[in-house]
Chain A
Amino acid sequence: MAKTVRSKKRHGFFETLWRYKWLYLMLVPVVVYFLLFRYLPMYGLTIAFEDYNIFHSLFNQKFVGLKVFKKVFANINFWASIKNTLFLNLMTLVVNFPLTIIVSLILNEIRSAKFKRVTQSVLYLPHFISWVVVAGIATNLFSTNGGTINNIITSLGGEAKSFYGNTYWWTVMYIALQIWKEIGWGTIIYLAALTGVDEQLYEAAYLDGATRFQRIIHITLPMIKSVVVVMLILSISRMMSIGLDAPLLLGNTAVMSVSEVISTYVYRLGIVKADYPQSTAIGLFQSVVNIIVLLLADRFAKAIGEGGIL
């Protein structure tokens, strides 16, 4: 025993390095990648506290304290972008979350394995399509003049809706497309949780005279309860993050008051107008809020006995 301890001690730093040289060699590009493209930008966050001069290097800028943040917080567009981000995310969650669970439950009730497989493939498909394509397809469906949706509305006696010009109907279109794209994909995690359910439970309930609906309520739902809770907490903790593609590609000047979210605002301010300090400050604010919400969500998940989400 003592001998092995001593022999272990004799392995010096370089000896260890040499012993696992292949593994460390594999890690070199990985570590370089993370330092260069993930940690160096974190250092770049200092821009938010500087009077940034593009002719100087990242390491040689004038510190101005919280001046940039004061400017950002005083801007009404900044608060509008936060409000829009939260609103679009929340509305999408409210519609998409229960719908995904319902679709999972229905899929779970399909008995023919082949039919299930085929429909699942179809439902997953939109997940793999780019937002540019979706935005293109949307013009067919939602245009005021001859779009499929408006054709249906008018044939039912309704009035054609301006999905691209009216903020309310734009939001409806945005949510509908989000759901169309992700609902199938979202079911995977619930269906995975359901594969573990013991068939005997269903059979026992059947013999006790439970209806199919009762079985779903009393057996299937409890089985996915903890996945549901974790997914809900995760989604809520992502409320401040929003992809740029969908709002940017679907939006236009007429609906800017709802379509301008944090990511599109940062893009316009930072890339289009090249105001690096302000856009960096907004990004930093967003990240800090994200991490606080995530930590709170993790605490909450642990408190209700679901294990951490981190």
Chain B
Amino acid sequence: MAKETMDKEKMAPVKKASGSTGMVSKFTVFDLLMYVLITLLALICLYPFLNVVAITFSGYNAVLSNKVTWFPIDFSTSAIRNILSRKQIWQAMWTTVEVTILGTGLSLVLTIAASYALSRDYLPGRTAITSLIMFTMYFGGGIIPTFLVVKSLGLYNSLGALIIPNSISVFNFIVMRTFFRELPMELEEAAKIDGATEMQILFKIILPLSVPIIATIGLFYAVTYWNDYFQALLYISDEAKYTLQLRLRALLFGTDLDPNASVSGDIGEVMTQSLKMASVVVATVPILVVYPWLQKYFVKGVMIGSVKG
């Protein structure tokens, strides 16, 4: 008891003294150290990207002599022009754009539908359906049975195989349902009294309030579709339907179906190293373009997800 009061007394003057200046003013050696460490870490994160770009835009001899690090040497655009002039790349790019757009659209529609309906706590049967969904987070059929189901549905070698089998992520569903649950109910109730249907409430009230979360989850889905390698490896064997990641793998490590047969960072002549890096640039730039303006949303999305419903 006595300790408690003492603590309180101790705290009281602290509050006054702290104000806005107090401890925040001095920039110490400690601060400097923190800034240096984080800057170093950021540079380590950036270097591989810059190195790829530098190699892409460097001259033949500079790449051959392994001199290129941060910046291009003997600036040259021949590698990137070579890659961009290949029909295969554009074909793969178009396939991936198609999969990403259609996939993200389908995923968002399904995730919004599931999250909205199952966030209405008056809906009979919602617990059963939610359990049906949640259970799949912990147990599943695994790679092979899923592969056989998808194949037996006639999706093999079709873009559908890249879109439909993984169109709902349970994690994203949880994030979105948590968000919908936390929206204030008053507007919805008022709309209901005015005779609005659930469909109208969703489109006129809920969705306009949910733009940030939809952007976040849309970004997650889009990145997953864009980066997907495994699904394409499983379901696409027809070269004409190669996605960007499959094409990129073929350019980097050879077309051999078993990736372990080729590989190694050492084989292949140096002109191809520039070409390889140019193809990496082409496959990555679209992500880098959308990244900055969606970035402000996703941290919040991850936090909602980590709190978990």
Contacts and interface: CB of A to CB of B under 8 A. Distances in A.
Given A20-B198, A47-B144, A202-B23, A132 B252 contact: yes
A131 B139 CA distance: 25
Interface in B185-219: 197-199
Interface string B114-143: 101110100110000100110010111111
Given A44-B145, A47-B144, 17 more contacts: A34-B132, A34-B136, A37-B166, A38-B140, A38-B141, A44-B146, A44-B148, A106-B38, A123-B42, A125-B291, A135-B253, A140-B48, A140-B51, A140-B52, A146-B66, A206-B22, A268-B258
Given A33-B167, A122-B45, A140-B55, A207 B139 contact: no
Interface of B: 10-11, 14-15, 17-18, 22-24, 27-28, 30-31, 34-35, 37-39, 41-42, 44-49, 51-52, 55, 65-66, 69, 110, 113-114, 116-118, 120, 123-124, 129, 132-133, 136, 138-150, 152-153, 164-168, 197-199, 223, 226-230, 233-234, 245, 248-249, 252-253, 257-266, 273, 276-277, 279-280, 283-284, 287-288, 291-292, 295, 299, 302-303, 306
Nearest to A142: B265
A121 interface: yes
Contacts of B248: 132-133, 136
A272 B237 CA distance: 12
5 contacts: A27-B129, A39-B136, A188-B306, A189-B306, A283-B143
B265 A143 contact: yes
A249 B229 contact: yes
A291 B138 contact: yes
A145 interface: yes
**Most chain-A CB neighbours within 10 Å: which of B51, B66, B116, B228?**
B66
A271 interface: yes
Interface in A230-289: 243-245, 248-249, 251-253, 256, 263, 266-268, 270-272, 276, 279-280, 283-284, 286-287
A287 B140 contact: yes
Given A106-B38, A164-B264, A200-B15, A42 B227 contact: no
B135 to A, nearest CB: 8
Contacts, number: 292
A251 B263 CA distance: 8
Majority-rule SS of B interface residues = helix
Contacts of B28: 212
B259 A248 contact: yes
Interface string A1-28: 0000000000000001000101110110
Interface stretch (A76-84, A85-93, A107-115, A217-225): A107-115
A81 to B, nearest CB: 13
Closest 6 A/B residue pairs (Cβ) = A41-B141, A44-B145, A146-B66, A283-B142, A143-B265, A130-B227
A58 interface: yes
A95 B145 CA distance: 35
B132 A263 contact: no
B124 A20 contact: yes
Given A31-B132, A145-B66, A192 B303 contact: yes
Nearest to A266: B143
Contacts of A43: 141, 145
A271 B234 contact: yes
Given A27-B117, A130-B283, A136-B280, A33 B168 contact: yes
A36 interface: yes
Contacts of B44: 180
B145 A110 contact: no
A55 interface: no
A47 B145 contact: yes
B142 A41 contact: yes
B52 A137 contact: yes
Contacts of B265: 138-140, 142-144, 147, 163-164
Contact of A44 (B55, B149, B197, B266): B149
Contact of A23 (B117, B227, B259): B117
A148 interface: yes
Nearest to B27: A111
A215 B45 CA distance: 28
Nearest to B299: A188
B98 to A, nearest CB: 17
A256 B145 contact: no
A55 to B, nearest CB: 13
Nearest to A189: B306
A207 B17 contact: yes
A123 B230 contact: no
A289 to B, nearest CB: 12
B42 A23 contact: no
B69 A148 contact: yes
Contact of B145 (A45, A202, A267): A45
